[in-house]
């Protein structure tokens, strides 16, 4: 196995697993689609990273933070539903990108490219994905309670603002990692599809959360393997592999 392919496979499975795990939390708060607009908003950052030759996750991160702050500000200032606000942010991200990103570099920004990941980049991505897992694991029951009912969480004296902030922080990180793998266009699918498939077949929280993680890992593994075999872009293949698992989960649905 050539080392570049191995690196891609390792990074892909770690990010895929962390994204699936966090996705199970996001799906329960109907937040999965928020990753979409945030992914789109990273596009100008990715464009800058591609033009100046630095890590796309690094380029993406400040733009995700900007997106989260904007959505949060809009939510305070207006009574518009979250979907409308995210749509505004999302379209703006795409529009800004295509003002200055050369079209020949658009593919990597839109659908990602894990096949050319460097060693240092790979080590950092894997470590961040592991750290992310532990943080999500720690906040998981608290966020579930907040998702079920903020009032119930408050009556349990949970610091909702603190946990929501940590939660948004991990979303920002996973989106930044995700764009490296599947690009700005497909990041929402990276978190939403494994969790949706796991929900179809699980009867309790452990099956659901870890099911989503395992499906995330398998999809990334299969997608990158297919890229090696077929020579098609890995980002879309990872997403299509998870879609296939989702379709199978529909058949197995309890």
Contacts for 143 with CB less than 8 Å, ≥ 6 apart: 25, 29, 163, 167
* Min separation Cβ 152 and another protein, Å: 6
* Residues 155-214, interacting with another protein (CB under 8 A): 155-156, 199, 202-208
Using CB under 8 A, which of 58, 94, 144, 225 touches another protein? Answer: 144
Rounded to 5°, angle at Cα 112 from 130 and 109: 125
Using CB under 8 A, which of 4, 115, 147, 164 touches another protein? Answer: 147
Which phi and psi (to 5°) does residue 47 adopt?
-55, -45
* Nearer Cβ to another protein (92/207): 207
* Min separation Cβ 195 and another protein, Å: 10
* Nearer Cβ to another protein (149/159): 149
36, 83 Cβ separation under 8 angstroms: no
* Residues 33-92, interacting with another protein (CB under 8 A): none
* Nearer Cβ to another protein (25/47): 25
Using CB under 8 A, which of 151, 159, 247, 253 touches another protein? Answer: 151
Which phi and psi (to 5°) does residue 113 adopt?
-160, 100
Query: Does 141 participate in binding another protein (rule CB under 8 A)?
Result: yes
Q: What letters, b where the CB count within 10 A reaches 16 and e where it falls short, cover 60-90?
A: bbebbbbbbebbeebeeeeeeeeeebbbebb
Going from the C-alpha of 83 to that of each of 33, 74, 126, the distances in angstroms are 8, 11, 32
Among 96, 86, 90, CA closest to 44: 96
Binding mask 4-33 for another protein (x = CB under 8 A): -----------------------xx-x---
* Min separation Cβ 77 and another protein, Å: 15
* Nearer Cβ to another protein (4/207): 207
For another protein, the binding residues (CB under 8 A) are 27-28, 30, 141, 144-145, 147-149, 151-152, 154-156, 199, 202-208
């Amino acid at each position: 196995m050539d080392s570049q392919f191995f690196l891609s496979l390792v990074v892909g499975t770690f990010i895929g697993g962390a994204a699936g795990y966090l996705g199970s939390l996001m799906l329960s708060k109907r937040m999965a689609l928020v990753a979409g607009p945030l992914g789109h908003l990273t596009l100008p950052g990715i464009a800058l990273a591609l033009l100046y030759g630095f890590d796309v996750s690094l380029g993406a991160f400040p733009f995700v933070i900007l997106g989260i702050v904007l959505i949060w500000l809009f939510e305070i200032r207006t009574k518009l539903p979250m979907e409308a606000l995210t749509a505004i942010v999302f379209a703006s991200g795409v529009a800004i990108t295509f003002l200055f990103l050369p079209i020949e570099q658009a593919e990597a920004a839109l659908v990602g490219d894990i096949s050319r990941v460097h060693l240092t980049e790979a080590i950092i991505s894997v470590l961040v994905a592991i750290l992310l897992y532990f943080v999500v694991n720690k906040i998981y029951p608290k966020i579930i309670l907040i998702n079920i009912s903020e009032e119930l969480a408050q009556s349990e004296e949970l610091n909702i603002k603190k946990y929501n902030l940590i939660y948004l922080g991990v979303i920002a990180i996973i989106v930044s990692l995700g764009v490296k793998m599947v690009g700005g266009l497909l990041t929402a699918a990276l978190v939403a599809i494994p969790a949706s498939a796991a929900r179809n077949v699980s009867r309790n929280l452990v099956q659901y959360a870890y099911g989503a993680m395992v499906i995330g890992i398998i999809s990334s593994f299969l997608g990158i393997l297919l890229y090696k075999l077929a020579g098609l872009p890995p980002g879309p293949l990872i997403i299509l592999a998870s879609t296939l698992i989702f379709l199978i989960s529909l058949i197995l649905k309890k």
